[in-house]
A and B are shown apart, each in its own frame.
Chain A
Amino acid sequence: MSKPNPIHFFKDAFVTATSGSLRYHLWMGCLTFLMILGSYAYWVQLREGLVVTGMTDHVSWGMYISNFTFLVGLAAAAVMLVLPTYILDDVDFGRAVLIGEGVAVSALVMCLAFVTVDLGGPHRAWHLIPKLGYFNWPQSLLTWDVLVLNGYLALNLLIPFYILYSHYKGEKPDKRKYLPFVVLSVFWAVGIHLVTAFLYAGLPARPFWHNALLGPRFLASAFAAGPGFIILVLGVIHTQTAYTIRSVIFDKLAMITTVAAQINLVMLGSELFVEFYHPTEHAESAMYLFFGLDGHDALVPWIRTAIVLNVVATVVLSLHPLRRRRPILLASCALLFLAIWIEKGMGMVVPGFIPGPLGDVVDYSPTWVEIWITGGIWAMGFFFLSALTKVAIEIETGRMVHVSARKGGEDA
């Protein structure tokens, strides 16, 4: 009987992640197929340049950065589970928190992938490595983002790894060892999303972004979409695996989602009031977004859909009898997720560029290359999430344990 070491752990984890039911393989196969499509599209983009996207000098960020922004929020939302579980000793969340961290890791991997595909010269990305390249810190908010995202990724890999590895060894994780990192990650999570908001809010060139509410609104929408997404994932796990999730977890998560969605709506209302009560030149982006400008209205159907979904989901969630019914909860979480994805992605990034600084109104719509790449990266995120979740569940349910920790000595 050998002593457990991380190599055994990763070997067992790999085996666990690559084996499963037919349905699991089909699911992973579909994701792999989407990833291959995305890779092909990325190859086309590398060969031709970003000209194959819908972006122009006028709208110079599009679908990639939209998704990046949204996913930073999703990653940050894991904190909503981390905070009560590890610090406040709320055992209810214990089973959900590893899933939440899995969501965070997957979202961060997607974030980094989206930033990479958006670069004009990904092969020169080493210029970003401090010391080796030239890291324009602290002036550039993008360098802050690089730091906090990678740091957050490390934290969210480290903490679950420690806990899962301890369980794998059949030991109880030592709270004194991981708690400091948990505390750090709580602040860090708020940090990643504020920093990402500041990335936009720090640009006086774009009045649509240049407002102090952007950061808080990012947080509110993230804490609505994030736990909402985790509810969906837990719903799937609850029905598809042996890992049962207690109702009280759903209730608590739903409460968090609801309150955040309500705050988000209040902030949206506040923004709409300022923009439209006495519209200035700076309200033109909002005008474009909600009503169209100079006959250009590519985003109008999107944002109106998002607002309707957002309001419906928030109202439904706010009514206790409705929220307590699982199918309605899951459906409204899905709507909310979709609404915030539109609102914070395309609805936040793109109108910042329209009208341009010199008054040009140029529509943006993604091309097939962007859509395929985006699909590929989302597939990659779900791929990671599925694998991580599977391993976590198998460990937590005691099915993936190191030989030395198995009970009853049946392996002898």
Chain B
Amino acid sequence: MSNREKIAEKVRQWLKPADRRRLRRDDGGADTRFAEGADAVMNKRLDRRQALKAMVTGAAAGAAVVQTACSPLGGGSEKAQLNWEEYFKKNYRLMTDEERAATVTRLERLSKLEQNADPHIQTTPPQKGVLFGYAFNISKCQGYMDCVKACIEENNLDRGSNMQYIRIFEIENGQDGLASANGDFYHEVPAEGHYYLGTQCFHCENPPCVKVCPVGATWKEDDGIVVVDYDWCIGCRYCEAACPYFGRRFNWSTPQIPADEVNQEQHYLGNRPRKKGVMEKCTFCVQRTRKGKLPACVEACPTGARVFGNLLDPDSEIRYVLANKKVFRLKEELGTEPKFWYFTD
């Protein structure tokens, strides 16, 4: 069996029965047709990568030997092999469905081997006719931070650095703008004579962060969600400098999450645990919202200050807000067109 055949065979094994059925249906033929199709895809796409692989095969062999030698149980070689394949995978956007399935299988297996965890990593694509939008009622928010807590738990945020996607600002009545805002408050809320304004990634229609990424590791999906491929990011932090809303976070060290607190329902582009040295950000809880659920922050909000929905559905709540309320967005003059509006009662 040639190398390519082996890979195609492996891909086929990795696929879940449902995916295999779906692919068979797409191919319009029998299972063998898929194998040929995948083989053709592999032939074409792997050439370049195999060149790179060949360049460092010696190093690989060495690494594998070391790994095996260091692991008394001999489980290291599978891990090394998987990590090796992970290292040479593509940008998620360029992956075929089969390649996506393959990497998810690898990642799930790796978490089993490394953390003894059983995550389910989705690759749910955007739905047609869905464009997510968000509205925040500054008359309603009381600064309880339930959203922050829910976000941390849902999205497997680093507990070590107390990373948070959402920030709630306490602003004195009669003041506008964030210049006089207090983003560090921790006292009984709501404070007399103050209002509260929350920020997170605004999923701009013209995201400056996407434009500047040198390796295309961040992009806007068809449903308007700006995502990061954590395995493709090189950690240059240009996007963090480019974001006018402080919507992005960097993993300055290895994220720490207690094993029993890890949310195992994950999305490749969403809340799967990150590594050190990569960017991350709010994804409108892509692992939830693409399945029809509300984002964790919206669900957790006790005051109903957060409204979320499909901008392309004229009957949605978000569209009601846009049509009937006085709305504004932050820094509209920058032309970023956030899909995150503020409104008052």
Contacts and interface: CB of A to CB of B under 8 A. Distances in A.
Direct contact of A and B (CB under 8 A): yes
Interface of A: 48-51, 53, 55-58, 60-61, 115, 118-128, 131-136, 139-143, 146, 199, 202-206, 281, 352-353, 356-360
A49 B252 CA distance: 6
Interface in B276-330: 276-279
Q: Name A's interface SS.
A: loop
A51 B255 CA distance: 11
A367 to B, nearest CB: 12
B276 A49 contact: yes
B335 to A, nearest CB: 8
Contacts of B214: 128, 135-136, 140, 142-143, 146
B45 interface: no
22 contacts: A51-B252, A55-B252, A57-B249, A58-B246, A61-B241, A120-B236, A124-B234, A127-B217, A134-B94, A135-B214, A140-B214, A204-B244, A204-B334, A281-B179, A353-B241, A357-B243, A358-B167, A358-B183, A358-B199, A358-B245, A359-B178, A359-B183
Contact of B253 (A48, A57, A115, A357): A48
Nearest to A137: B214
B234 A127 contact: yes
Contacts of A121: 233-235, 275, 277-278
Nearest to A143: B214
Contact of B169 (A50, A146, A358): A358
Contact of A120 (B91, B215, B245, B251): B251
A70 B340 CA distance: 38
A143 B94 CA distance: 19
A68 B215 CA distance: 20
B237 A120 contact: yes
Given A126-B52, A142-B236, A357-B245, A203 B183 contact: no
Interface of B: 48-49, 52, 87, 91, 94, 161, 167, 169, 177-181, 183, 199, 208, 211-217, 232-238, 240-246, 248-254, 275-279, 331, 334-335
Given A120-B235, A357-B246, A358-B245, A57 B240 contact: yes
Given A134-B91, A134-B94, A50 B250 contact: yes
Contacts of B250: 50, 57, 60, 120
Contacts of B275: 121
A55 B279 CA distance: 14
Contacts of A48: 253
Contact of A49 (B178, B233, B254): B254
A236 B151 CA distance: 60
Given A203-B208, A357-B245, A50 B213 contact: no
A358 B246 contact: yes
A120 B169 contact: no
B253 A49 contact: yes
A139 B211 contact: yes
Nearest to B219: A136
Most A CB contacts (10 A, CB to CB) among B52, B177, B179, B244 go to B244
A131 B232 CA distance: 15
B42 to A, nearest CB: 17
A356 B181 CA distance: 12
Most A CB contacts (10 A, CB to CB) among B87, B237, B331 go to B237
